[in-house]
Amino acid sequence: ALSRPDYRLPKSSEAFARAAKVIPGGVNSPARAFGAVGGEPPFMARAEGAYLHDIDGHKYIDYIGSWGPMIVGHAHPRVRAAVSDALVLGSSFGAPTVREAEIAEVVAAAVPSIAMARFVSSGTEATMSAIRVARGVTGRDKIVKMAGCYHGHADCLLIQAGSAATTLGTPNSPGVTAGAAADTLLCPFNDAEAVRRILEANPGRVAAVLLEPIAGNMGLVPPRPGYLETLRELTAKHETLLIFDEVMTGFRVAYGGAQERYGVTPDVTALGKIIGGGLPAAAYGASSEIMHRVSPTGPIYQAGTLSGNPLAMAAGLATLELLREPGLYDRLEALSARLAEGLEKAARDAGVPHVVQRVGSMLTLFFHDGPVHDYEDAKRSDTALFARFFWEMLARGVYLPCSQFEAAFVSAAHTEADVDHTVAAARESLAAVVG
């Protein structure tokens, strides 16, 4: 039987209490505290391939993959070797290294919009810097952001939709000033007409339209056919830069990201997660013309003590190399389709409201009747049902993202047996939550 009536986390609970005394909520990034599902998180001891092991001795099939980076699986031997080889040579120099050009060449060859890239240490920095470049290049202040898209925690991007009547951003965190929010204009995801109206109402004032080309931060929401193409036309017409935040989708939905998969090329691209192979690295890139405007060749300032860190570059390069192995994305596609179909059938048989949305190896089972096109749809999901399902799955050794509004990731280390086990666990879990 898959069920584990003995599933308990005494050591994790003790560790959590200890951490909570010295770290806010006991975690260094909020989602890890399991706030959306209630209860306390398992603390992890180690990971290999598709599996996580907690300090209480449980093993999980991992569908978070560190929230995206671990596409070749945890502790891949080739990535480990690359990092340990780099480590003996020194972990940071604050001086240029050959490997930085090497990985920038790989990225430029992979991503259609990128001729030159600048490496940073987090996705937050990548999108924040992309916005600065767009403002610096255009001499304009305003940006358009889509409700429900997450781009990290820079002030001007930490804005959610206000009432439907207003397009002005309202801060959704104390500490974000009204000034920072005022330059952020909001549109629903998948609504190109809303972007058209905003650009027409703000002629010559919008520096950039920024979005996740496939939304992964309200659960997985694909772009409607034609949406990205229309944004490309509108931004070109208004001389506004189109920025794709491919921190999650880059090297994930195709080697060249969503822009390769959909054939729509933005002006600027933010990358993260996979590009660092599980170490802290991210990047932003564009044409040479745009990137030459960045310091020191240009006036737009951006810098970082640990940017291009040798260990992170080694992990990233090794990961990208593994991704170029023939057939890898086809295998990810097939495995993920098998998982999506299995979950869909299980939810249908259980009679719960559901839709499974997937692009490549990113997917979400929404407890929502019918397709989810934007944040408003996503928010109508049954999050209480999700929370119960989540814990049933965890107790059966399946580690899903701990919120309805996150995408699950399949890695190249997952097997058909893992997927089938997951589907069987989902059947039992759904029976438990509806029964």
The site for ligand PMP (CB under 6 A) is made up of 67, 122-124, 127, 150-152, 212, 216-217, 245, 247-248, 272, 282
Q: Closer to ligand PMP at the Cβ: 63 or 67?
A: 67
**Minimum distance of ligand PMP from residue 202's CB (angstroms):** 24
**Minimum distance of ligand PMP from residue 139's CB (angstroms):** 25
**Minimum distance of ligand PMP from residue 128's CB (angstroms):** 9
Residue 191 is a catalytic residue: no
**Minimum distance of ligand PMP from residue 282's CB (angstroms):** 6
Distance, CA of 104 to CA of 282 (rounded, Å): 11
**Minimum distance of ligand PMP from residue 178's CB (angstroms):** 23
Catalytic residue chosen out of the listed positions 51, 60, 63, 150: 150
Q: Closer to ligand PMP at the Cβ: 250 or 397?
A: 250
Q: Closer to ligand PMP at the Cβ: 247 or 425?
A: 247
**Minimum distance of ligand PMP from residue 407's CB (angstroms):** 9
Residue 150 is a catalytic residue: yes
Q: Closer to ligand PMP at the Cβ: 51 or 150?
A: 150
Q: Closer to ligand PMP at the Cβ: 127 or 240?
A: 127
CB burial of 180-195 (b: ≥16 within 10 Å; e: otherwise) equals bbbbbbbbbbbbbebb
Q: Closer to ligand PMP at the Cβ: 50 or 248?
A: 248
Residue nearest to ligand PMP (CB): 123
Q: Closer to ligand PMP at the Cβ: 282 or 323?
A: 282
Catalytic residue chosen out of the listed positions 183, 245, 267, 377: 245
Residue 245 is a catalytic residue: yes
**Minimum distance of ligand PMP from residue 394's CB (angstroms):** 21
Catalytic residue chosen out of the listed positions 54, 62, 145, 273: 273
Please identify every residue annotated as catalytic: 150, 245, 273
